Amino acid sequence: METSIIINSGILIVIGVWLFLIFRQLRKGKGSKTEFKSYQNKFTRKYYRFHNGLVACQEQLGLDQNEEFAVLLERAVKGENEELTMELLNKMLYGDGGMRELLCIILINPDGAHLTEAQALLANKLKEDEVEDVLNDFFILNPKKKALFDLLKAAAVSRSLMTPTKPDGT
Q: What is the pLDDT of residues 66-112, one digit of tens each?
A: 999 888 887 766 654 456 666 766 777 777 788 889 899 999 999 98
Digit-coded pLDDT (tens) for 7-16: 777 777 778 7
What's the pLDDT at 121?
93
What's the pLDDT at 67?
93
Report domain extents, the chain. Answer: 1-35, 46-162
Q: Are the beta carbons of 83 and 159 closer than 8 angstroms?
A: yes
Average pLDDT over residues 112-122: 92
Q: Are the beta carbons of 126 and 52 closer than 8 angstroms?
A: yes
What's the pLDDT at 169?
59
CATH of 46-162, one of 3.30.70, 3.90.320, 3.30.2220, 1.20.1070: 3.30.2220
- The maximal CA–CA distance of the chain, rounded, in angstroms, is 106
Task: Give the Cβ contact number of residue 59 at 10 Å.
Answer: 17
Query: In the structure, what pLDDT confidence band is assigned to residue 44 with cuts at 50, 70 and 90?
Result: confident
Q: Which three-class secondary structure string do you get for the chain?
A: CHHHHHHHHHHHHHHHHHHHHHHHHHHHHHHCCCCCCCCCCCCCEEEEECCCCCEEEEECCCHHHHHHHHHHHHHHHHHHHCCCCHHHHHHHHHHCCHHHHHHHHHCECCCCCECCHHHHHHHCCCCHHHHHHHHHHHHHHCHHHHHHHHHHHHHHHHHHHHCCCCCCCC
